[in-house]
Amino acid sequence: MSKRQALPIGVQTFEKLREPNQDFLYVDKTEYVFEMAKSYGYYFLSRPRRFGKSMLCSTFEALFEGKQELFEGLYIHDKWDWSQSYPVIRIDLSGINYENLESVKDQLGNSLLRTCLKHNIPFEDLKQNGLGPKFGELIEKLHQKYESKIVILIDEYDKPVQDTLSSDDQLAAKSLDVLRGFYSAIKASDQYIRFCFMTGITKFTGVGLFSGANNFEDITLDGQYASICGFTQNELETCFGSYFDDVDMEEVKAWYNGYNYLGDKVYNPFDILLFLKKKADFDNYWWDSGQPNFLVKMFEKGVYETYELDNLELSAQELKQFSLTNLNLASLLWQAGYLTITKVIQEPYGGKSYVLSTPNREVQMTLNMLFLVSLTAVESNRLLKRNDAIRSLYKNDLTRFEASVRAMFSAIPFNNYVQSNIQKYEGYYASVMFSFLAGLGLKCRTEESTSKGRIDMVMETPTHIYVVEFKVNAPKPKGKEQGEAIQQIHQQKYYAPYLNDGRKIILIGMHFNEQERNLDWFEVDDVVEG
């Protein structure tokens, strides 16, 4: 067996990764780098956190600074003109958490100071008032000093807004104003700029970067650059050598693959590296590396039914950008990596729409558990102990399943209902059930369309398909009569799409009572086709 290359866990710079005395595994992305760098363009790339954006910025930095030795053996090495190098301004906003407006200003100022120190320009020589004017002055001074065009790299341009968004909308708006003033120097300095690359998670309107003569080209959904970050299946199979020997690759796909940017689907690189380091132990590595507090806040502010966030359709405009005054939770979930594109719809009028779903098992489980905690105010560790619900479905023990559902709803604090009266609505119970089961890893879908209507929920195990209908405050049937839920399933033949599946089909009616805030009664039936 050949020697394994070291996994580059925690390595943030291309230079460290490619030092001659190191032997880190590197998946060559320089073909994409070359296609972009050979132009004089302005590029913007949105990708989720820990997806390799900082490493990409570092690669551009090493390339434009002419560090040829770092690129030996890579795609770009014999294609790039190494006789020309450029001064680089690197603005990295990913390093700290922004709690107030001063922290935003300080980080921007520190970025200018570091650039001055790197190029031996006294910071006090920047005479302009304000961060934006100082930035523009620095660009001009570098141009004069080197008699060369400038390269600007901005990593995580939107992090100050992301951080402040989770605590204070007004603070987030003020942070955006500061960034707008700072980034305005880029447009004003167009004649001095050779190349500009900016990364972020979200694409906010009102920043002043996505309109005008030197508009940033958004390559987020450009199929040519779909695999610029993350690992493709082919890259896993060709670059990682023996690391995946004796590993169930189908399980790896189910857990960590599925991110689609209109090209080959990609794996989350952070997950893959930690998974291999931990000896192929499946876990929520990416999710555990940082909590999306701003998503929790948005979810708590609005009336969202969690099942609507799976198999959700958005227009191209809704998907790609939004403003602080018109935040769209689904769009934010997509940009942050918690939803991905599963289908592109070409509209008859010429536009496009996109269907979104969770990309993989890790995100499905953790996102739904997060929403469940938000919906129910029950701590996640208490909810996770209720995985008996999944075991009972796998064994088709529906008495135990009913008991698990009752126990889960019983754990929801009374004051969770007092102000909202959400216990009156089927959508609330559907949201709780979907997040509960999906958060425990069960394959389930809601609002499944048939020729006769929409099924409230479909749950699947390797041996059974459960077709579920929810009702609230429905009258109890007399004698052996069936309740409204089972009657509706039979009348509409919601089970019909699954008759040729081969698995046994079970019908479940869940009748809830708003006074009890729990199951009123639970009924089960089999499919009998005459």
CA dist 356 and 363 (Å) reads: 13
Report whether 142 contacts 189 (CB < 8 A).
no
Q: What is the pTM of this model?
A: 0.88
pLDDT at 436: 87
pLDDT of 245-301, one tens digit each?
999 999 999 999 999 999 999 999 999 999 999 999 999 999 888 766 666 666 666
Distances (CA, A) of 67 to 2, 84, 94, 164, 517: 29, 11, 24, 37, 65
Residue 454, pLDDT above cutoff 90: no
Degrees (nearest 5) of the Cα angle 201, 205, 206?
125
Q: Would you place residue 351 in the very low, low, confident or very high pLDDT band (cuts 50, 70, 90)? A: confident
pLDDT at 350: 78
**Average pLDDT score, the chain:** 87
pLDDT of 218-254, one tens digit each?
999 999 999 999 999 999 999 998 999 999 999 999 9
Return the sign of the alpha-carbon dihedral for residues 305, 371, 311, 339.
positive
CA dist 157 and 159 (Å) reads: 6
Distances (CA, A) of 409 to 174, 277, 433: 41, 39, 9
DSSP 3-state of 483: coil
Long-range contacts of 494-501 (CB under 8 A, 24+ apart): 494/450, 494/452, 494/453, 494/455, 494/467, 494/469, 495/465, 495/467, 495/527, 496/450, 496/451, 496/452, 497/448, 497/450, 498/458, 498/465, 498/467, 499/527, 499/529, 501/465
- Identify the residue with better confidence: 203 or 166: 203
Question: By C-alpha distance, which of 98, 301, 112, 328 is closest to 205?
Answer: 328
pLDDT at 411: 80
Residue 38, pLDDT above cutoff 80: yes
pLDDT of 475-522, one tens digit each?
888 877 888 999 999 999 999 999 999 999 999 999 998 888 888 889
Degrees (nearest 5) of the Cα angle 364, 369, 371?
100
pLDDT at 333: 87
Q: Which residues are registered as beta bridge partners of 1?
A: none
Q: Would you place residue 450 in the very low, low, confident or very high pLDDT band (cuts 50, 70, 90)? A: low
pLDDT of 92-109, one tens digit each?
998 778 888 999 999 999
pLDDT of 296-317, one tens digit each?
666 666 545 666 667 788 888 8
For the chain, the farthest-separated pair of C-alpha atoms sits apart, in whole angstroms, at 92
Question: Would you put residue 421 in left (φ > 0), alpha (ψ -120 to 50) or beta?
Answer: left
CA dist 328 and 204 (Å) reads: 11
Residue 347, pLDDT above cutoff 70: yes
